[in-house]
Each structure stands twice: as structure tokens, then as C-alpha cells.
Amino acid sequence: MPFSCRGQEYQCVVGSDVQRDGMYLEVTDTQDEPDVLEVFYSDQTDQMTFTAYRGDIPLEVVEWAVTLAKERLIPTARR
């Protein structure tokens, strides 16, 4: 699901991480540096963590990623 912001195009990927025992949502920038941010949900702790891979991420992109992560990463039974 693409997202446009300030002339940049962003994409997200949702996946499972067996080693860290959880799910992640990763946002990439299709035009510049590919890695932008990651939101990770831990099945062990029921907590989400946010990792920014660069410092100039527009707030709109962060808000978009957090909203998607809340919808797609947290198991329905735990919401």
C-alpha cells in the first residue's frame, strides 16, 4: 500500500520475524534511501517498538506507519 508525502513515495511491507518472535511493518522510500523506519510488535512482551533508520522522516509518514501497525500487527484478541 503506497503513501505519498512531500513528493516522495513510500511503501510498507508487513512480515513475520521468527527470530525476534513477532511481526514487523517496514517502510521504505522508493526514491532515495530505501530504509526509512520499522515498527515491531513482540509476541513475547505484547509491546511495539519504533526504529527510525534516518532522521528526516516527515511526521505524516510516521503517523501513517503507526496507524497501519496498530491495525495490522496487534493480534485481534489483544486489541
pLDDT tens across the length of the chain (79 residues): 789 998 889 999 999 999 999 999 999 998 776 889 999 999 999 999 999 999 889 999 999 999 999 999 988 666 5
pLDDT given for residue 78 in this prediction:
65
pLDDT given for residue 77 in this prediction:
62
Nearest one of 55, 52, 57, 47 to 20, comparing CA atoms:
47
Nearest one of 30, 36, 38 to 57, comparing CA atoms:
36
pLDDT given for residue 27 in this prediction:
96
C-alpha cell at 78: 489483544
pLDDT given for residue 31 in this prediction:
79
pTM over 0.85: yes
